[in-house]
Amino acid sequence: MTAFRPRIYVALDFADPQAAQSLVAQLDPRECGVKVGKELFTRTGAEWVRALVGQGFSVFLDLKFHDIPHTVAQACQAAADLGVRIVNVHASGGRAMLAAARRAVPVAPDAPALIAVTVLTSMDQAALAEVGIARPLPEHVAALAQLAADEGLDGVVCSAWEAARMRSVFAQTDPWIVTPGIRPEGSAVDDQARIMTPREALLAGASELVIGRPITRADDPAAAVRAILSSIPT
């Protein structure tokens, strides 16, 4: 695994593996990583991810594992075996599940960062109530992040607006505060609600930026990556 820690992960939100492949062919693994989620992974499979790693890309395997501890541990191990850079799990899977994931992917220079998802941004207070969670949403997010930090996870996926607070929860040096909802100056907001520019997000405490459409829909995706890189602190 390369020592280079890219600041940008391009979200490969494509239904068509060939479209994903042609976008990847325009990107430089020395400039950005890529995020592979459930849709693309289910279409392409592990060997495609292994090939991305083989091309030198840092891969965020965004499969949000949530299952019994043994199953999640085995899945995290399988992700580590692919050579991906970031793997994530739902903190709501509970303490034993988080601990099992951590044991499966111990902290090591060549192991993936193991990060937590707290509450999906598609959930609001009413949706939480329907699954039996009465406490205020921000309190629930904070409690889940603390649980993940207590079990030694490396960081969290969160909005850049929560990055500073998450930095104080994940007190280790250099936590992985991975933030979607990023929009470079002047680009379309799409369906994102609370956005920040790449520069604002990093200054607010983000360590990695997940950026999809502003790059994948650009006429020149490589130029879009470079423009973002030139806008952020080094």
Taking the complex as a whole, the smallest distance from the CB of residue 117 to ligand C5P amounts, in Å, to 7
Determine the angle formed by the axes of helices 46-54 and 69-82, rounding to 10 degrees. 40
Binder among 112, 181, 205, 221 for ligand C5P (CB under 6 A): 181
Residue 12: name the closest of 122, 69, 32, 68 by CA. Answer: 32
Q: How many residues bind ligand C5P (CB under 6 A)?
A: 13
* Site for ligand C5P contains 33 (CB under 6 A): no
Cβ proximity to ligand C5P, 141 vs 157, nearer residue: 157
Residue ranges in 56-115 that form contacts with ligand C5P under rule CB under 6 A: none
* Site for ligand C5P contains 200 (CB under 6 A): no
Which segment (53-61, 68-76, 94-102, 204-212) binds ligand C5P by CB under 6 A?
204-212
Which segment (143-151, 161-169, 198-206, 207-215) binds ligand C5P by CB under 6 A?
207-215
* C-beta of residue 53 within 8 angstroms of C-beta of residue 82: yes
Residues annotated as catalytic (active site), given as ranges? 64
* Site for ligand C5P contains 36 (CB under 6 A): no
Cβ proximity to ligand C5P, 17 vs 37, nearer residue: 37
* Site for ligand C5P contains 184 (CB under 6 A): no
* Site for ligand C5P contains 13 (CB under 6 A): yes
Give the footprint of ligand C5P on this chain (CB under 6 A).
11, 13, 37, 121, 157, 180-181, 190, 192, 210-213
